[in-house]
Structure 1
Amino acid sequence: MSFETISVVGLGYIGLPTAAMFASRKKKVIGVDVNQHAVDTINRGEIHIVEPDLDMLVSAAVQQGYLKAVINPEPADAFLIAVPTPFLPIENEGDIPKPDLRYIEAASKAVAPVLKKGDLVILESTSPVGATEQMADWLSEARPDLTFPQTHGESADINISHCPERVLPGHVVTELVQNDRVIGGMSKRCSERSVELYKTFVMGECVITNARTAEMAKLTENSSRDVQIAFANELSIICDELDINVWELISLANRHPRVNILQPGPGVGGHCIAVDPWFIVSKTPDKAKLIHTAREVNDSKPYWVFEKVRGMVTEFLEQNTNKSEKDITIACYGLSFKPDIDDLRESPALEIAKQISSNHEGPVIAIEPNIDELDVGNIELVSLDSSLTRADIHVLLVDHSQFKKIRLNADFIIDSKGIWI
């Protein structure tokens, strides 16, 4: 059965590029989002996020009539769910964060009324193990007139799979096409139909497994990265204590043919590496000891950077006895969770800037080339040129390409990425 109309629920950093990619292959695509601003922006042929080449894809797809955005789902042949999976509120300090599946539940109940026999539903949202089965149960409860794979297997009216995205922000358009996809169907037919759908534009291999393994594959990929980053971050703290340049040290250690240590930073951000390991820990808290420790190391790194800033304020005052803390301007270079994007989700740089703003008596300015406005505390968004002349203390948090082009000549620098040292 061919897929003539495809619905993508959730038009964010993954959903919108996916919708545009299907539309670029001359498929009719209905994008669904609860954000009216996003819907209106897309229907003008514009985008509400920063992602190279995406603006051209969306503009062409809208102009040619292959892509439209709506608030409420409409009938389609396939539905891709790409909504957020945040954490539930932490009740007590030290509690393990638990995933919040309310967005998936809401999306399931929204598409359920327009489902028909033969439709395919794919959960793309990064999810804890068992989430796809839970989505299938929500759909089944909402549509008792249809059959689903958890009860009817290969003969089900509705096919359901999990297929996590695995793309790099800033390279999403290219990687959606070129990367392999892990597809976990709730039955063999679910998987086969999902492969048929993705092969509309995916040039990489579509590897079939079951839904639970597909869910765990994405969590494993990002947890592995988190553990590796935690080693580098912990090493940077140790080297600071021992007065060793950690970047030189890692460069030397990486000369070993079987060693590849990653680079340290101010923490870990984004809605993948900083989040996904907790999905594993929350399911198996007594078993995921290394993964849990890595999360604690990386989550504590922003506070360590903040403490370094406070120490530098004290050092500045000791060398400038005619000034008070109110006279010191601190510049934070970069707020996004990684270089050259506008995504502030789970950003350690933003968290550090907020901590500085809340505790520093003087002005706090930020340089973030990828956003136009900022409404965070008393932080002032300024240009790079302005920061270089105004700031007394310079705190490098994100290694944006603009920052790599300069060599800062200042006495008070904290470089969490090692580009100015």
Structure 2
Amino acid sequence: MLILFLLTTAFAAEVVVKMTPKAVAHVFKKEMSSLHSSLLHLKPPPFQATYLGLEVTIDHLQVVDLKMPRLTYETGTTSSRMIFKLIGGSARLLGQYSAVYKTKREGQFEMVLEHFHLAVPVQRTALTKFTVSSDMCTLEVDESMITMSPILPEQISAEIKTDLLNQLRDASCSKATTMISKMNSQLVHFAEATDISQGGHPSHINVELHFQNPTAEDDSAIHVEVTESVVNAELGKLFSSANTRFIWNDVPEIKDTLKDCKSSECRLFEDGDIVSSFFDRPLVRIHSDDTVTLRLPLSTTLTTTGGKELFRVQTEVNLILEDIVLDEPVNGDVSWSAKFRVKEINVLQTSSSRSFQKFAATMESWIGEHKAFLENLLNTYIRGSLPVHLRSPLVWTHRLHARPNFTTSSLNFHVHPHFSPPLRVLV
């Protein structure tokens, strides 16, 4: 089966992957789940302080109930500044306390926290590199309450709560900044350009990863933009480097056609080798009316099994791509298919042996008579892959936006991860 791959190579960033807060939260849901598990098994150190001569110790602390906040972010006025946030959630801590002032009092301790607002500003020093400082981290809690049984004076209980919230802020910011710092290594490889020419000529493409705020239309998709120029740069490799060949001998439709043909030329076609190759670079054009055309400059030869050339024709095949559909990604790679309609096939040059001179003279009329047959071949054997690989723990939905969007000189499409299990981890 013949496969025509759409590839990319460029030195400027002509492939852009745009992430939204919900998509980022999905990509890092394993990290959030791991953080949830570690907090439930956390054994905080004893809390010790003195209030009005009363020495208070709270120990054997344990997080017994934890509803994780959701991970999100906000972009700043410039692309280099962002704020990662953990919003919502709740927690309940249990422990024991002792209070010593002349005599020792012991009892039970409980702290309940509702709805966190943790913010970590970051500086983007590269496309996916964050500089994080815990000194800039802030934490607010909408509701907090401590219960000590037997009770302590209200003034002392209030000061204990304030000091515990300050310690919670330091511990939470330390955990959050560590987790966000670890995002660097994962985001560097989240979106990569792939060379699928199978020609051993790797692409060097700078893929930009952009973070954008959610829109009213859709805040869950991963948006990918591939420019026309970067597609054409890689298509050029099919001509210049990959030595692409279309070998038609074993195509069943051609075999059946030759069997039904009784002319002497058909017998030579059936016994010889029919091969097409590019004599120039293929070219894609995305037009202002959203139509997409593909130019294939093909040189087709018929040679005997001994290598003698019997016939050669150079044609410029101009196709209109209709009903372009993105298939379900496999291992992060996105493939496409389309319906090809022949706009025109121009015969530029022919050369032939004496036995094929009559056939060469009628080549243009033969192409016109067999237009439907040629379109069927193209629609059966030409398909492609997009040059972006998304590497993450995503579980893809069974259906994407079926048709990509087109703007002048670029292809845009949305990938919707399947958000299951839910982003918010519950106890």
Task: State TM-score, norm by structure 2.
Answer: 0.28
Larger strand proportion of the pair: 2
Greater relative contact order (Cα < 8 A, sep 6+): 2
Name which one, 1 or 2, has greater alpha-carbon Rg.
Answer: 2
Larger helix proportion of the pair: 1
Task: State TM-score, norm by structure 1.
Answer: 0.28
